[in-house]
Structure 1
């Protein structure tokens, strides 16, 4: 694989119900090369992992310039498609989001994750506000030589409490999924959703390929495949596992 156009086409076509794209989220060129060398068909960063690796907390505290330098280095280190976790677009306005999306494409990414939570604020953007932001991302992407795969993320389930009515939450998720699709999104990411029946219903009703994140209580990859999921992410899990191994080794060496 050589051209960015080929990578973008390949990445888009990897999102299939019954044969999902499985992403082991990485955070730097070294981990990207390991994943690609092991046979990963595509690479995706996780914002939490990237931020922690550079010594920042998550939530767009990692400077955007550094995030773009990192994705550029990752893209140049592997010959497979690369998607960037863009968090909430490094800006509140549609114009700021558009600029971030354009930078992602200019630095070699063929896809972005783009969430609807309000960074340094409370809750989520309204459907109307997020639709404007997704639309701006779509317009900026289409202006690039190679349009990006925009994976619109909703944090409704990620922010839910134990007492919340999960079926009502699903209804809200479906409304957002349709709205984001109409605004030009290519995929729909719902981290925090782990109930198999609700996942199946979402996959049946959402017009976009559905992305689920592996986490405690989540169905297995095989089960998610049968439910109709088209993309499976590992989020911060790989980084946490790697750091736990390093911590264990260091504790054994230094006796702490």
Structure 2
């Protein structure tokens, strides 16, 4: 079994601009083992999928202790690197974020997703506030002696409306990406960004490896690689597909 340090280094090295790491987001040890057995180079959870699997809505409604117990079991079930969707860090303050990152590392995760939306609130944290939170995550990781890959996520496009000027939104995204990089982030995740031209511009201007999520209207995996993307996530798609298959089978069995 590789050490956590070896897994962390391997996970960092998998992020290559133009040759993206493709993550099929899983939610428990069983799905992690299936992905690993199929040849996945790394494992990543999706918060929505994990929460739904345990009977909770998304948005940090899954208790943190349960999330940490789940990631611990996942990490112990596979030998490849595992990244945890930490949502917004289970706390508003930098100190609370640091505690959550420490727990993630202690339970075997060598990567985290860390978003800037305000849980149970409105909008996003200011750049200044989120930068302080990212810096706290970096400091907590450094204290573990395991270089956790901090995938800083911005929800600007996820919260956009059809009438929003997408070019203006991208300007804000790029500004946040630079600030998060300066604070110690290792990657930059922009879910709901699907326009090829904007993705290309972001990859050109962002110093961090860019992470895009597969969803309706998104370019293909090969196209995303050509645009300069370094990481591709599947988000809640795998969970929804699995549940749809079970629903179809049960409906055939029970007539509903």
TM range (shorter): over 0.9
Give CA-to-partner distance per residue, 1:26-66, whole Å, 9 cap, x none: 00000000000000000000000000000000000000000
Unaligned runs of 5+ in 2: none
Alignment of 1:7-46 (within 5 A): 7-46=7-46
Whole-Å Cα distance in 1 between the matches of residues 121 and 159 of structure 2? 13
Match for residue 94 of structure 1? 94
Partner residue in 2 for 1:190: 190
Once residues 185 and 2 of structure 1 are traced to their aligned partners in structure 2, the CA distance between those partners, rounded to angstroms, is: 24
Quick one: distance in 2 between partners of 1:145 and 1:12? Answer: 15
Q: Secondary structure at the match of 2:22?
A: strand
Trace 1:87-166 onto structure 2 (pairs within 5 A): 87-166=87-166
Q: 1:51 corresponds to which residue?
A: 51
What's the TM-score once normalised by structure 1's chain length? 0.99
Q: Shift of residue 18 of structure 1?
A: 1.5
TM-score of the two chains, using structure 2 as the length reference: 0.99
* Segments of 4+ moved more than 4 angstroms: none
Whether the 8 Å contact between 2:9 and 2:147 is mirrored in structure 1 is no
The runs of 5 or more residues in structure 1 that have no matched partner are none
Residue equivalent to 1:205: 205
Between the aligned partners of 1:53 and 1:31, the Cα distance in structure 2 is: 11
SS in 1 for 2:161: coil
C-alpha distance in 2 between matches for 1:29 and 1:239 = 14
Alpha-carbon shift at residue 228 of structure 1 (Å):
0.1
3-state SS, counterpart of residue 122 of structure 1: coil
Q: Is 1:70 aligned to 2:70, yes or no?
A: yes
SS of alignment partner, residue 113 of structure 1: strand
- Deviation readout 1:166-185 (Å, 9 max, x if unpaired): 00000000000000000000
Correspondence for 1:240: 240
- How many residue pairs align between the two structures? 256
Please give the residue correspondences for 1:173-184 in structure 2 after superposition, counting only pairs within 5 Å: 173-184=173-184
Q: How far did residue 145 of structure 1 move?
A: 2.3
Deviations 1:191-226 (A, max 9, x none): 000000000000000010000000000000000000
Provide the rounded CA distance (Å) in 2 between the counterparts of 1:158 and 1:101: 24
CA distance in 2, matches of 1:10, 1:110: 10
Secondary structure of the corresponding residue to residue 41 of structure 1:
coil
Q: What root-mean-square deviation, in Å, do the aligned CA atoms of Structure 1 and Structure 2 show?
A: 0.5
Q: Which residue does the alignment assign to 2:168?
A: 168
Q: Distance in 1 between matches of 2:243 and 2:9?
A: 34
